[in-house]
Chains A and B, each alone.
Chain A
Amino acid sequence: MKRIPKLALTVGLIAAVYGLFVAVFTYILHLPVPASVMKMYMFFVTVVVLLVMTSNEDSARELVAPLEALVYQPRLRRLRAAVFIVAPLAGFGLTYNVTRPTLDAPLELRTVHPAPPNSVKVFGKTYNLLTLENPYRAKEKSDLEAFRQAVEEGKTVYFQNCHYCHGDKLDGKGHFSGGFNNPLPANFTDVGTIAQLQESFLFWRIATGGPGLPNEGAPWASPMPVWSNYLTEDEIWKVILFLYDYTGYAPRVMKEEKGHS
């Protein structure tokens, strides 16, 4: 079998990886890779392929030989002229496409994890979020019946107020979720949401809603209501219990993680 020239192999490999991404993500999964990520992926795919192709002298020489020939060989004069005209034009076209004004909305570099303040003022009181704990959490061990009762009440609060957006399976796919663009209602079953957070964080988020999000990372464009205007403190703690109970996650407890303390 005839050996594939190194330059062709290099270009072929890079193209094949790109094709694989498009085939798998766009056509099989129907979840296309966003251009910002694809550019990073393909840049490093190209780098790694080039590193492998130049990892020994023979291979490196074979790779650059056609390029050297293109620059130096008199017999390739016409091809050289064509490349030297087409390549800058291609660069020009690429630059034009990247920089030309479009009617698309500007890109948003949004932070999905708002950092909580140290304290929050709601219900006429100031809560220290570093030390705030769910008053019902201790009942999970001391009085299971009362704990289950609180979870049930939290469930009622959830289905009366939250499920329209966050969904009856807590997966962020409620009736109204299709009306939102960015951010979408949080999916509580995702390991990346409440499973990573302390209950005090949820208390802050629910109590102050979209308007309570910090300036950092703005604009948030979150339509989440300020629930402290509609729910009692007790109801918020109970609905938090329900979120963890339904999803099976345990709230993050920093003291336990410290280990040595």
Chain B
Amino acid sequence: MKPRNTLFTLARRVLAVSLVALIFAVNGGVAFAAEEAAVAPAGETAIAPVGQPAPVLTEESYPLLGGGSSRVKVWIVAQLHLFFAAFVLGVPIFVLVIEGIGMATGDKRYDAMAKEFIKISMVAFSFTATLGGILLFLLAMLYPDFTVYSLKIFRPILIAYALLFFGESLCLYIYYYGWEAMSSGFGKWVHLTVGLLLNAAGMTLMVLSNSWATFMMAPSGVTPDGAFLGDVWAVMHGPLWNPINLHRFIANIAYGGSIVGAYAAYKFLTAKAPEEKAHYDWMGYTANFIAVVGLLPLPFAGYWLTKELYAYSQQMGITLMGGIFAWLFIIQALLIGAIFLGANYYLWLGLVRVPGGEAYRKAIGWMATVLLVCFLVWFTPHTIIMTSSEIKALGGAHHPVLGALGVMSAKNTAVNIMILTTFLAFLLYQRAGKIPKVGWARGGNAALAALFAAGAANIVTLGIYGYYIPANIRIGLSVPQVFTTLFVIAAASLINGVMYRGASETGPTRWGDMPARSQYALFLLAVSFTWLMGLMGYVRSGIRQHWHVYTVFRDYSPDAFTPTLGYAANVVSVTVLIFMAMVIFIFWLDNFSRKKAAHK
């Protein structure tokens, strides 16, 4: 269906964007607006508590279930629940946007792709719910006192949670099963509205359950001994709630994109017909785009979360970034680097399918070099493992050059340049095979080159300047670095977009003409994202150390210790393997149902 006029198209686009903005405003915005609302951190209030103090337990207070550690059982189930939850919350966000784009442009392919995306999340939705139920049972069985304590505090929002879950399920089923019935005219608007409601319910569920996790990390609204003060809003609105909300909102989009990317790759590799390969190639490309778009702002949301965490508790902050968990951040850096490399590699290979893409091949070596240098800086540890002979050769345990790369000035600089390089790869892909018709194309290219050079120079200069100023000012430098990156991305998109409007093409994109290894890059993204979430999820939860609720409700179970990093990494890796097996089952199920349908 072709749009009737430009104004109408514009109105539809504005609506599509507004829908997404509204979801965020409904959920996050309310919380942001209430930033100055009274928060009662533990120990800073004279209000009489309405609840009992947190119980003092013994080892006998923790019933056992079979052999093995109770913590590991809860850990694995909770993590699996969160993997699926992130996926089923992320997918409807971009499905709604894609459906909106399809409606605005009249291109039916977007609509079909949006429907296929949501279809994948249907089975995942029931897995999420099932795992959530198992998690609740496990908590009640293995940690009864903690569960009762939490439920008493969060009682006012439990009914809302149950109703929202019911509403989300209802919206999801109507949204999916009503896709064809509401595919045109007013029905399409109704369908979009159902999609919006689905997202609103899902996001509200997420922010509610986030408040449980953030309460355990940074309790508010209770006395120093854990007695509830009676205001559940004060409990929910702790210092880490909004940073986690934002971080998870963005991460869900990136994660959802990476998993549907893996689905597209699976389908591409198993497809036989060229049309089918072309379809899943396009789907994989779109999914990779979504994952990368979600990934780019994620480090900044992470910085905000960590900054608030440091501000809440120096002990927690140092344990996290400089203490026992610091090495997990090196693994995090490696995985993020692997994601950047995978995403870039996919874009480089994408030039194969664009006639005229060869012209940009020369740039690949340079972009790879910049990425590599930044990547090496990004994961260089501050504290380096050395043998005694290496320590002697250096004259100490501190490496004067490499040690300097271990601080945030170097890391921030490296990640911003990596983001810009990834964006450049995307920009070159967009330009491949197109010849601009505007007379100022040469000037436009010069402006783009100058923009990137000036942006990179500014980021590097700020990074170097950071070494000469105190920490509290240095932390502030990450803001202009981020804004430089965002400005370059916005300005370059604008210049490039205007320059290539109405450009002639050297030939149609050969969708499906991609080597198999490009699809493994998509798998790499999905696995790396999952692993990353598992490791960082452990870190987020683990920095409470021997507390159920940090500083107010002590953990007296036999597991009240911080496991070794190797042990934690093993548990996370096993969880990732289980999750991936379940995801492959979902993918296989889709192929299986199609085979049956074809057979009939």
Distance between Cα atoms of A191 and B466 in the complex (Å): 9
Contact of A253 with B472 in the complex, beta carbons under 8 Å: yes
Decide if B244 is an interface residue (CB 8 Å cutoff): no
The interface residues of chain A lying within 8 Å CB-to-CB of B327 are 109
Q: Within 8 Å CB of A112, what residues of B?
A: 322, 382-383
- Shortest C-beta distance, A179 to chain B (Å), equals 12
Q: Are B310 and A257 in contact (CB under 8 A)?
A: yes
Which residues of chain B are within 8 angstroms of A117 by Cβ–Cβ distance?
Answer: 315
Q: Are A256 and B472 in contact (CB under 8 A)?
A: yes
CA distance A36 to B397 in the complex (A): 13
> Could you tell me the distance between the alpha carbons of A41 and B377 in the complex, rounded to whole angstroms?
10
Which residues from chain B contact A52 at a C-beta distance below 8 Å? 364-365, 368
B residues near A (Cβ < 8 Å) are: 35-36, 307-308, 310-311, 313-316, 318-319, 321-324, 326-327, 334, 337, 341, 345, 348-349, 351-352, 358, 361, 364-365, 368, 371-372, 375-376, 379-391, 393-394, 396-403, 406-407, 409, 466-475, 515, 517, 551, 562
A37 contacts the other chain (CB 8 A): yes
Tell me how far the C-beta of B341 lies from the nearest C-beta in chain A, rounded to whole angstroms: 7
Interface residues of A in 145-199 (CB under 8 A from B): 181-184, 187, 191-192, 195-198
The answer to whether A249 has its CB under 8 Å from any CB of chain B is yes
A56 touches B351 (CB 8 A): yes
Q: When the two chains form their complex, are residues A260 and B35 in contact, meaning their CB atoms are under 8 A apart?
A: yes
Query: Known contacts being A129-B314, A217-B323, is A48 close to B388, with CB within 8 Å?
Result: no
Q: Are A191 and B517 in contact (CB under 8 A)?
A: no
- In the complex the two chains form, what is the Cα distance from A254 to B400 in whole Å? 28
Q: Which 3 A-B pairs have the closest CB atoms?
A: A113-B322, A115-B319, A196-B471
Note all chain B residues with C-beta closer than 8 A to A115: 314-316, 318-319, 322-324
The answer to whether B352 and A104 have CB atoms under 8 Å apart is no
Apart from the given pairs A33-B399, A55-B349, A111-B323, 14 other A-B contacts in the complex at a CB distance below 8 Å: A31-B394, A31-B399, A37-B381, A44-B337, A45-B372, A51-B341, A57-B515, A60-B515, A112-B383, A130-B313, A182-B391, A250-B472, A254-B314, A256-B472
Of the candidates A181, A182, A196, A256, the one having the most CB atoms from chain B within 10 angstroms of its own CB is: A196
Q: Which residues of B contact A181 (CB under 8 A)?
A: 388, 391, 397
Chain B residues near A104 (CB, 8 Å)? 387-389
- Please name all residues of chain B whose beta carbon is closer than 8 Å to the beta carbon of A25 when the two chains form the complex: 401
CB-based contact A32/B364 at 8 Å:
no
| Of listed B326, B372, B394, residue having the most chain A CB within 10 A | B372
A109 touches B349 (CB 8 A): no
Taking residues whose C-beta sits less than 8 angstroms from the other chain, chain A's interface range is 35 or more
A57 partner, pick from B308, B322, B352, beta carbons under 8 A? B352
Complex Cα–Cα for A254 and B310 (A): 8
Q: Once bound together, how far apart are the Cα atoms of A108 and B471, in whole Å?
A: 28
Residues of chain A from 27 to 47 with CB closer than 8 A to chain B in the complex: 29, 31-37, 40-41, 44-45, 47
Tell whether A35 pairs with B324 under 8 Å between CB atoms, given A56-B349, A118-B315, A257-B472.
no
Supply 21 A–B pairs (Cβ within 8 Å), ascending by A: A31-B399, A32-B393, A37-B384, A44-B337, A44-B376, A51-B345, A54-B517, A55-B364, A57-B515, A109-B385, A110-B397, A111-B326, A111-B383, A129-B315, A130-B314, A183-B397, A192-B382, A198-B314, A216-B319, A217-B324, A257-B310
Check if A105 sits within 8 Å of B388, measured CB to CB. yes
Residue of A nearest to B468 (CB): A191
Q: Does A242 contact B (CB under 8 A)?
A: no
Also in contact, A254 and B318, with CB within 8 A (given A56-B352, A184-B396): no
B390 and A31 form a contact (CB under 8 A): no
A94-130 contacts to B, CB under 8 A, are 104-105, 107-118, 129-130
Residues on B with beta carbons closer than 8 Å to the beta carbon of A41 = 376
Residue pairs across A and B with CB atoms within 8 Å: the count is 175
What residues of chain B lie closer than 8 Å to A111, measured between beta carbons? 322-324, 326, 383
Which of B323, B376, B470 is close to A114, meaning CB atoms less than 8 Å apart? B323
Most chain B CB within 10 A, of A25, A31, A117, is at A31
Q: Are A34 and B407 CB-contacts (below 8 A) given A253-B472, A254-B310?
A: no
Q: Give complex CA distance A129, B316 in Å.
A: 13
Q: Which residues of A contact B562 (CB under 8 A)?
A: 216
Chain B residues with Cβ under 8 A from A54's Cβ? 517
B383 x A110 contact (CB < 8 A): yes
A137 touches B (CB below 8 Å): no
User: Is there a chain B Cβ closer than 8 Å to A252's Cβ?
Assistant: yes
A56 to B321, CA, bound (A): 40
Contact of A55 among B348, B385, B389, B551 (CB under 8 A): B348
State which residues 49-92 of A face B: CB under 8 Å.
51-52, 54-57, 60
- CA distance in complex: A32, B394 (Å): 7
In the bound complex, do residue A114 and residue B318 qualify as a contact, i.e. CB atoms below 8 Å apart?
Answer: yes
**A114: nearest chain-B partner, CB-CB:** B323
CB distance from B422 to the nearest CB of A (A): 14
> B316 to chain A: closest CB distance in Å?
8
Q: A184 and B322 in contact (CB under 8 A), knowing A32-B390, A55-B364, A57-B515?
A: no
Nearest-neighbor residue (CB-CB) of B369 within chain A: A48
CA–CA, A35 to B384, complex, Å? Answer: 10
Within the assembled complex, what's the spacing in Å between the Cα atoms of A55 and B311? 45
Determine if A227 is an interface residue (Cβ-Cβ < 8 Å). no
Are the CB atoms of A47 and B326 closer together than 8 Å? no
Contacts of B315 in A (CB 8 A): 115-118, 129-130
Residue A203 at the B interface, CB < 8 A? no
A258: interface (CB < 8 Å): yes
Q: Inside 8 A of B351's CB, which chain A residues have their CB?
A: 55-56
Max count, chain B CB within 10 A of own CB: residue among A45, A56, A117: A56
| B371 proximity list for chain A (CB < 8 A) | 48
If A31-B399, A114-B323 touch, whether A252 touches B471 (CB-CB below 8 Å) is: yes
Give, as a whole number of angstroms, the nearest-CB distance from A21 to chain B. 10
B-side contacts of A192, CB under 8 Å? 382, 403, 406-407
Q: Are A34 and B352 in contact (CB under 8 A)?
A: no
Which residues from A are CB-within-8-Å of B390? 32, 34-35
- Shortest distance from the beta carbon of A199 to any chain B beta carbon, whole Å: 11
Q: Which residue of A lies closest to B400 (CB)?
A: A31
A237 within 8 A of B: no
Residues of B near A250 (CB, < 8 A) are 470, 472-473
**In the complex, chain B residues whose CB is within 8 Å of the CB of A118:** 313, 315, 551
Instruction: Tell me the smallest distance from the CB of B468 to a CB of chain A, in Å.
Output: 8
With CB as the reference atom, state the residue of chain B lying closest to A258: B311
